[in-house]
Amino acid sequence: MRFVHTADWQLGMTRHFLEGEAQPRYSAARRDAVAGLGALVEQSGAEFVVVAGDVFEHNQLAPKVISQSLEAMRAIGVPVYLLPGNHDPLDASSVYTGALFAAECPDNVVVLDRAGVWEVRPGVELVVAPWRSKAPTTDLVADVLRDLPADGTTRVVVAHGGVDILDPDPTRVSLIRMAGLSEAIERGAVHYVALGDKHSRTCVGDSGRVWYSGSPEVTNYDHVEHDPGHVLVVDVDETDPAHPVSVDARHVGRWRFLTVHRPVNDSRDIADLDLNLDLMADKDRTVVQLGLTGTLTVTDRAALDACLDKYARLFAYLGTWERHTDIAVMPADGEFDDLGIGGFAATALDELVATARGGDGEAAQDAQGALGLLLRLATGSAA
């Protein structure tokens, strides 16, 4: 038996830093990742697709988002099983019970709206634990594993949430207990566990049967999401009593969210940063946040600003990570001598330079900004 395990589509997601046409392109990429599963299913021969929670970003979605999402699922062409998760739980406002979803839901889409066992075909079952609120008060998976027989039926658990061995927080009562999963696997009642919630591809435990697929399209920077952009093609050998499993990760994501840390202390560092940004491919599908630290002259700071302005126009988004950016501006001796400023203006300039060198307070920052603007205006490089 072969199927596709995916999760955390979060259709309808927006990123606050994406402006203009970048946000619609990102939203389209998330839908395309879903519709593109049709080609993967055809190529791999998968019988069905399980989506382990957070199909939608939330329950209050624009009608257009719902309609376009369902159309993307229709394109997959095989049964698609949707598990409600913490973003789209089966509460009173559930997207899954809305009139629009009911009217336009394709025949190949099944909402797993009841906890317990669902038959895919004779001999193959899903064991599912949908979320009915954003804050469950128990381990939802433990409830559905109880009393499952080891009778030769091939079973796939479809669940959503954290696992205690990855997040050992005793106050989180909703965590999935790994001991319960391991026990069900060891006695042959369950053969694979398809998890959602963690957006990076992750194997949990040592059995090779418990996986987070991760989100098929990146949702956060790479220091948070280490391995996004995958779906998993899972094979379970039904002819072997042990039901051995093999998992093949397929990269389907097209966007990248990168965190780049760089020292910037002189013009050479700025040139290196410029070169590295220039060499990045697919800039229109790449988001970059920069953590920059160092001390620059006013001239070099103006050059850095010009570099950042240039690439901000080329990338889907490029900006500085404020908590990890600390650039001091220290005017160099004689840095403004060639501007030909005299008289009262020269006196004012000297005062600005002295203030800019005076520390990192607000007055110093204002003076540094004024000197940078003056330099850009004088050299004709103002935006």
E-assigned strands of 166-266? 192-196, 202-203, 210-212, 230-236, 245-251, 256-263
Distances (CA, A) of 117 to 6, 11, 98, 121, 246: 19, 26, 24, 12, 23
Q: Which helix (H) or strand (E) holds 155?
A: strand 154-160
As a dihedral over the C-alpha atoms of residue 68, residue 70, residue 72, residue 73, rounded to 10 degrees, the angle is: 170
What does pTM read for this prediction? Answer: 0.88
Q: Where are the domains of the chain?
A: 2-251, 256-379
CA 169 to chain centre: 23
Provide the residue type at 237 as one letter. D
Report the distance separating Cα 131 and Cα 142, nearest Å. 13
Does the 2-251 domain belong in CATH 3.40.640.10? Answer: no
Q: pLDDT by residue (tens digit) across 263-309?
A: 999 999 999 999 999 999 999 999 999 999 998 988 899 899 999 99
381 in helix, strand or coil?
Answer: coil
Ordered per-residue pLDDT tens for the chain, 383 residues: 999 999 999 999 999 999 999 999 999 999 999 999 999 999 999 999 999 999 999 999 999 999 999 999 999 999 999 999 999 999 999 999 999 999 999 999 999 999 999 999 999 999 999 999 999 999 999 999 998 999 999 999 999 999 999 988 888 899 999 999 999 999 999 999 999 999 999 999 999 999 999 999 999 999 999 999 999 999 999 999 999 999 999 999 999 999 999 999 999 999 999 999 999 999 999 999 999 999 898 889 989 999 999 999 999 999 999 999 999 877 765 555 555 555 555 666 667 667 767 666 677 777 666 766 666 665 555 44
Report the distance separating Cα 102 and Cα 98, nearest Å. 6
Q: How many residues does the chain have?
A: 383
The answer to whether 87 and 196 are in contact (CB under 8 A) is: no
